[in-house]
Amino acid sequence: MENICVVGAGSWGTALSVTLSNKGHKVKLWDIDKDHLEALRKDRENVRYLKGVPFNNNLSLVSHLEEGLQDASIVVFSAPAQHFREALKSCLPLLKDQLLLNVAKGIEMDSLKLLSQVAEEIAPSFKFAVLSGPSHAEEVGQFLPTTVSVSSRDEKTAEKIQDIFMTDKFRVYTNSDILGVQLGGALKNIIALGAGISDGMGYGDNAKAAIMTRGIAEIARLGERMGAKKETFLGLSGIGDLIVTCTSEHSRNRRCGLMIGQGINPEEATRRVGMVVEGMYTTQAAYKLAQELSVDMPITRAIHGVVYEGTDVNKTAEMLMQRDKKHE
């Protein structure tokens, strides 16, 4: 059994902490929000983000990073993608030779870097892995069957994470394509926004299926241009994650899109979700990447128009349907 520090006590960090501690690992959970930590310590569950999932005795809450990292062999970063750099920098002076794992999904807006690239920039000497796939925290916290992928540039690192996380309800596959695994997990949030908008407009299942299918096509186009493997997007961190995020009531990106489709402005829709909506950030990053790399991403471009340019959703839908004829 391992000593594990989890940085970030949102719904996903909490669900993984419960999963790991239930397996017998000693888990220390830390968050920058001291009031939130105190509530977790008092309630012995995350009432705010993951209600109904009690903590066991292997899971402890720590107020200081030093305490969490002191004996840890693995550090799991579950902070939102836009705060990953800051979280890693905060830990860096306290790290020795721990294995680092990121479980957030996104692209850094300012640099347009994947989070593994951020880690390579500021912590190049550490072994680093990412975990992604169709995995809503609400279901993982209830120990419902879930499968995910773990990827690292070092095969043994990925296999070690696989061994540590694997349970009879949480199945982990290894994947050598660290770029593709991250891009699939990040970019599907854009398409989930689109699926939610479509649902909010009352467009039905046919339209949503089209958005998902053509969405994975443009995700793969950008991924291949960036050096990822096309087949990765047919797997868990590609089409698997896309399906669950575009269709589930648990999906905050879909919920946000649903409200936008119903006429609520994007800023207010994000506020009402009550948690970070990564797709709102990833839309902007992917839009810039598509421009820089000359990749055609019409759905991403359309959602960027709705979210950041105030384009009317009805006109956007008409524009997508009336594009020039294409061969699939």
- Write a three-state SS string for 173-225: EECCCHHHHHHHHHHHHHHHHHHHHHHHCCCHHHHHHHHHHHHHHHHHHHHHH
Question: Could you give all domains of the chain from N- to C-terminal order, each with its CATH number?
Answer: 3-174 (3.40.50.720), 178-321 (1.10.1040.10)
Mean pLDDT value across the chain: 96
Q: Residue 39's closest CA among 57, 63, 6?
A: 63
What does 38-72 look like in DSSP terms, one character per residue? HHHHHHSEETTTEEEEE--TTEEE-SSHHHHHTT-
**What are φ and ψ of residue 314, in 5° steps?**
-65, -40
The predicted model scores a pTM of 0.95
Q: 260-282: per-residue pLDDT in tens?
A: 999 999 999 999 999 889 999 99
DSSP code for 275: S
The yes-or-no answer on residue 188 being catalytic is yes
Catalytic-labelled residue, pool 188, 229, 315, 326? 188
Q: How far apart are CA 182 and CA 11, in angstroms?
A: 19
Q: 123-155: per-residue pLDDT in tens?
A: 999 999 999 999 999 999 999 999 999 999 999
Is the pLDDT confidence value at 326 over 90? no
What confidence tier does 218 reach under pLDDT thresholds 50, 70, 90? very high
